[in-house]
Amino acid sequence: MGAAKSTQCGQPCCGDGKNGKNGTDGQEDEFAAAVSSHFESDIANDSSVVQKSFEPIASELKLAFQLPDGGGTQDVLFFYKPLGLYFDKVSPVVIKCVYADTAGERNGVQVGWVLVKVNDEDVTEKPFKSIYELLSKGMSHLAIIHP
């Protein structure tokens, strides 16, 4: 999987083709794997779980985001992975970058949005490890889209 450029932020987090996959020189300080390709390697060889169309399947992941400047909240439903959302491994989870040609971009997720719920469970006071576990569990049943 090559480095993807974001149509939203253009920052090194989205890769520039010179560094590691996400432009971090291979450092693991930022967290992108769980929302981009972490699970893909586990089931990439199982063609029964690879969805190539954009028709919704039974499983979904519902994320709610606090919009910047008191703009309220936005619920976003994901039916496929990778989500394509890039953020640091800290709580609160703030979207730093949205990868091009991913579910995150197709669903309109924006840089600066703050994750507040995962499948209707409030994560505003949870440590990052708990948020990661909720995301992992929620994504485990999503189909993989290969652009």
- Average pLDDT by consecutive 10-residue portion of the chain (147 residues)? 49 50 41 44 43 57 94 94 96 97 95 97 98 96 82
- 101: burial class by Cβ within 10 Å (0-12, 13-18, 19+)? middle
pLDDT of residue 78: 96
- For 63, the domain range is 31-144
Does residue 4 sit within a domain?
no
Does residue 111 sit within a domain?
yes
pTM, two decimals, is 0.67
CATH of the domain at 108: 2.30.42
Does residue 119 sit within a domain?
yes
DSSP assignment, residue 136?
Answer: H
Cα separation values, 59 from 4, 115, 129, 144, Å: 26, 20, 23, 12
Does residue 12 sit within a domain?
no
pLDDT of residue 39: 39
Does residue 108 sit within a domain?
yes
Does residue 16 sit within a domain?
no
Q: How many domains does the chain have?
A: 1
